[in-house]
Amino acid sequence: MPYSPNFVDGIAVVVALYIVSRLVAKKPVGPLPPGPKPLPLLGNMLDMPQSHEWKTFAQWGDRFGDICSVSMLGNTYVILNSSKHAFALLDKKSAIYSSRPTIPMGGELVGWNRTLVLLPYGNNFREYRRLIFQLIGSRKNMERFQPIVDNATRDFVLDLAQTPEKLVKHIQNCAGAIILMMSHGYQIQGENDQFVATVDEAMEQFAVSTSAGAFMANIFPALVHVPAWFPGASFKKTAAAWRATLDEMCDKPHEWVKKQMAAGTAIPSFTSDALEGGVTPERELLIKNAASSLYAGGADTTVSAIQTFYLAMTLHPEIQERAQAEIERVVGMDRLPSAEDRDNLPYVEAIFRETLRWNQVAPLAVPHVLIEDDVYEGYHFPKGTIFIANVWKMLHNLETYPDPLAFNPDRFIASPGHAPEVDPREMVFGFGRRICPGLQLADSSVWITIAMSLAVFRVEKPVVNGTPVEPDTEFTTGTVSHPPPFECVVKARNAKAEALLQHVAVERAQAKAQR
Ligand code: HEM
Ligand SMILES: *[C@@H]1O[C@H](CO)[C@@H](O)[C@H](O)[C@H]1NC(C)=O
Ligand SMILES: *[C@@H]1O[C@H](CO)[C@@H](O)[C@H](O)[C@H]1NC(C)=O
Ligand SMILES: CC(=O)N[C@H]1CO[C@H](CO)[C@@H](O)[C@@H]1O
């Protein structure tokens, strides 16, 4: 974690603002869903977990039911623990359940409110989504990018074979290479690309600055108005520094595209297509922010899923072997698997789905805000209620997914007396008009990475003094959750795999030489 909040300073300011907040707090009207008993004045503030919120919320679900609620400082939070209610509200009534909460630190002060993920419902929201949907919204639109995804993933496999100890870096570079090519027509420059480094830094800051636990200002919005010199207001300096990272992430690639366009050397991309023919300054800002939304959304999410896959493989050699037998039978060992093989590789598909289910990239999705009062199953939800879909719980529910903590791809394979369990893609990408606009890209890039990795590598626990090292499996807290750092040994799984890697490396070198 790059930043550790100063809780004591925070408390000092909180006490000062306590009375003010009491005055501005609105009382919710009508019956709300049940939940932990609020304290006078503080509401449920002390009930709120500091980390892994989804686990506490799941326990509340078990105690209070599928829909429960908590209140703090005039905000009502409704937690949905089953997909039934998430679909009924966030999807079926999408027209009123699709705004976003204001996040004082991450959104307003650092400035992530310019990106789609935090944009309130309205005209800009629709325009960002329209632009992104045109690019990658459908399977058909996604097709033209398949070569970019395939090449970047092939490069990932080759790089990993060379320096397997840099697994995480290679995963990040692969995601960065794909998304920067699509958003800006930019080819990343080697292992330590400047743009990729900036995105990764900015995303880490996004995760911390938007979380409720890390900054008091996210719980007490009034803190935003405290001057920077005020004792305990050091978060304002942090905000200014992090805003600079975000500005750099948005501005630099955009300026780069404009230079390329002026020189006539731009590779067509989301940004160059949208700027073509000249646009007004307001329009240009919207395009720049939409492009940033795209690669902010694409830089860290698939990374988490692929890290999870490598962790699961470290734990399960027997699952690798079954998948490898399938790949040898269907694809052979003369080439890497491709998207065309997907339908013929059901076990690889099952590993892919189980990867998305076992650890959610976004365990609580992203909160949705209701923009009008609504009534549902006898409850009254006031306008402004914040809805949290506990996707983690939905995908670890004993009834739909028996033995939910186990990594078991077989749950998605039909067998006598066992119907395939629900496809996690129905939930992991969120709901309604806010559903992840990058889901097609995520689907194809995570799948191809899994398939190519299985084709050539064996992933093992490291052995120290004759004992295998067990990896930690406590995933991190944040809007985007990752596996904890873990060690694994990655190597070509046999002589045939080594030959294939060499063959692919030669092919790549020849293609480069021709250019
Ligand atoms: C495995 C990978 C991914 C997962 C699990 C995932 C999941 C999600 C979820 C749960 C949301 C919030 C949905 C809601 O509010 O109901 C979301 C939003 C979003 N995702 Fe993804 N995502 C992934 C990959 C991507 C990729 C590759 C991109 C970019 C191309 C992307 C771009 C976005 C954007 C821009 C939003 C904000 C949408 C909005 O607020 O309207 N995501 N994603
Ligand atoms: C983000 O929040 C700040 C502070 O409230 C506001 O001035 C700015 O206009 C917002 N930006 C966008 C793009 O909505
Ligand atoms: C992908 O790689 C192949 C072979 O190395 C090359 O011919 C092709 O131009 C590349 N395509 C893209 C979109 O980078
Ligand atoms: C989907 C899910 O996990 N639903 C559970 C929510 O909580 C109720 C009450 O304990 C359970 O019965 C549901 O199975």
Cα 304 to Cα 48, 105, 169, 171, 421, distances in angstroms: 25, 24, 12, 9, 23
Give the pLDDT of residue 27. Answer: 53
Confidence band for 245, pLDDT divided at 50, 70 and 90: very high
Ligand nearest to the Cα of 146, by number = 3
Q: Which of these, 325, 326, 352, lies nearest to 448 by C-alpha position?
A: 352
pLDDT in tens, 150-200: 999 999 999 999 999 999 999 999 999 999 999 999 999 988 899 999 998
Q: DSSP letters of 442-478?
A: HHHHHHHHHHHHHHHEEEE--EETTEEPPPP--PPPS
Say which residues have a Cβ less than 8 Å from residue 61's Cβ, sequence separation at least 6: 68, 79, 81, 82, 390, 393
Q: Whose CA is nearest to atom 6 of ligand 2?
A: 108
Give the pLDDT of residue 26. Answer: 53
For residue 438 and ligand 1, the question of a CB distance below 6 A is answered with yes
Give the pLDDT of residue 129. Answer: 96
Mean pLDDT of all residues belonging to the chain: 90
Ligand nearest to the Cα of 57, by number = 4
Q: List phi, psi (to 5°) of 386.
A: -100, 125
CB 368 within 8 A of CB 90: yes
Q: List phi, psi (to 5°) of 43.
A: 60, -135
Substitution candidate for ligand 3 out of 151, 188, 512, 514 with most atoms within 8 A of CB:
151
The SS3 assignment for 71 reads strand
304 vs 284: CA distance, rounded Å: 31
pLDDT in tens, 337-373: 999 999 999 999 999 999 999 999 999 999 999 999 9
| CATH code 1.10.630.10 for 9-514 | yes
Bridge-based pairing state of the strands 374-376 and 457-460: unpaired
* Interval between CA 329 and ligand 3 midpoint (Å): 26
Q: Which of these, 203, 205, 198, lies nearest to 3 by C-alpha position?
A: 205
Q: Which atom of ligand 2 is nearest to the CA of 109?
A: 4
CB 369 within 8 A of CB 464: no
For residue 43 and ligand 4, the question of a CB distance below 6 A is answered with no
CB 473 within 8 A of CB 482: no
Q: Whose CA is nearest to atom 8 of ligand 2?
A: 108
Give the pLDDT of residue 311. Answer: 97
Give the pLDDT of residue 221. Answer: 72
Q: Which of these, 368, 363, 302, 295, lies nearest to 125 by C-alpha position?
A: 368
* Interval between CA 362 and ligand 1 midpoint (Å): 9
Give the pLDDT of residue 139. Answer: 86
Substitution candidate for ligand 4 out of 66, 85, 396 with most atoms within 8 A of CB:
66
Q: Which atom of ligand 3 is nearest to the CA of 514?
A: 7
pTM here is 0.91
Confidence band for 242, pLDDT divided at 50, 70 and 90: very high
Q: Which of these, 216, 226, 208, lies nearest to 10 by C-alpha position?
A: 216
pLDDT in tens, 427-471: 999 999 999 999 999 999 999 999 999 999 999 999 999 999 999
* Interval between CA 63 and ligand 4 midpoint (Å): 9
Give the pLDDT of residue 324. Answer: 98
Burial profile 282-308: b = 16 or more Cβ within 10 angstroms, e = fewer: eebebbbbbbbbbbbbbbbbbbbbbbb
- How far apart, in Å, do the first and last CA atoms of the chain sit? 42
